[in-house]
């Protein structure tokens, strides 16, 4: 698959981690509108002049898995600004681990390097700090 993937080792309860994941505005960005805590919810992340993405919660299995489908996107800095459209952000929970995969974000994509660096920051710093220290962004 070669999609961007990273794993966090976190000694927290699966329920506790899942509850933190669904609070997107506390760990990803304050540029958040909509809902993310139920199947079918939709939300928008919008950084004017740089990034717009509309997400739909397409899988919601408490303590196990959360999947967001990008239904619309515009990354202004790309030749193909809707490159994220149709990709999925997948969060899989296992005892002591959180595995994040951005399905569709592959090395062949123009956005791969920059977005991989962004995900490294968001997942390894922002999300980890929120889960472990309850530190919001």
CATH code of the domain in which 92 resides: 3.30.530.20
**How many domains in the chain?**
1
Higher pLDDT, 1 or 47: 47
pLDDT of residue 50: 86
- So what's the pLDDT on residue 137? 84
Q: Rounded mean pLDDT of 16-21?
A: 95
Alpha helices in 14-111 (DSSP H): 14-21, 24-27
Tell me how far apart the terminal alpha carbons of the chain are, to the nearest angstrom. 31
Mean of per-residue pLDDT scores for the chain: 94
Confidence at residue 1, expressed as pLDDT on a 0 to 100 scale: 61
Over the stretch 25-81, which tens digit does the pLDDT of each residue have? 999 989 999 999 999 999 999 988 888 999 999 999 999 999 999 999 999 888 988
Judge whether 17 and 126 are in contact, CB under 8 Å: no
49 lies in which domain range? Answer: 4-133
């Amino acid at each position: 698959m070669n999609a961007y993937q990273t794993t966090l080792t976190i000694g927290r309860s699966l329920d506790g981690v899942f509850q933190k994941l669904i609070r997107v505005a506390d760990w990803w960005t304050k540029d958040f509108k909509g809902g993310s805590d139920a199947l079918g919810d939709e939300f928008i992340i919008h950084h004017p002049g740089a990034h717009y993405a509309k997400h739909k919660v397409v899988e919601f299995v408490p303590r196990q898995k959360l999947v967001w489908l990008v239904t619309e996107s515009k990354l202004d800095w790309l030749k193909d600004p809707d490159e994220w459209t149709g990709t999925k952000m997948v969060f899989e929970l296992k005892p002591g681990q959180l595995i994040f995969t951005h399905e569709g974000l592959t090395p062949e994509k123009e956005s791969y390097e920059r977005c991989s660096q962004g995900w490294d920051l968001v997942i390894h710093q922002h999300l980890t700090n929120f889960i472990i220290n309850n530190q919001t962004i």
